[in-house]
Amino acid sequence: TGEARPRLPQTDTDTGTDRTATTGVPARMPQNPNTTPAAPEPVLIPFKSGNFEFTNLKHTNEGYRDKAVRIIELLRKHDTIRDYVGDRPVRITLHLRTTETPADVTDRGDAGVDINLASYYFEKYDIG
């Protein structure tokens, strides 16, 4: 554009002033050697069986895994549900909820079926 831009000082010798500011806060906070770094959040891998999957199931808990298998078997054996789902993917996600219904279903057409299930219901109640 041809506009002249002001030249910023490049070194302290350009202005003759000391530009170092004292804030009282170190540039990097010292690390406490007596604390343990926080563990990274576990990466949840979907638990799949055929076209059914639990999106956020804790695989290391054998009881949860067994319950997930029973839920999938019940859904697969139910004629009406089997006809409704067909070969579309079914994603079951556990959610923290207390006052809502324990489950809801969203039909996403060819993209599949999403089931949101209350985690308390999954954990506390016997399935089948």
Extents of the domains making up the chain: 52-124
> In this structure, what DSSP letter does residue 50 have?
T
pTM for this model (two decimals): 0.64
Residue 89 has pLDDT above 70, yes or no: yes
| Positions of E strands within 1-121 | 47-49, 52-54, 90-95, 103-107, 113-118
Distance CA 91, CA 66 (A): 17
Q: How confident is the model at residue 123 (pLDDT cuts 50, 70, 90)?
A: confident
34-55, pLDDT tens digit by residue? Answer: 666 666 666 667 889 999 999 9
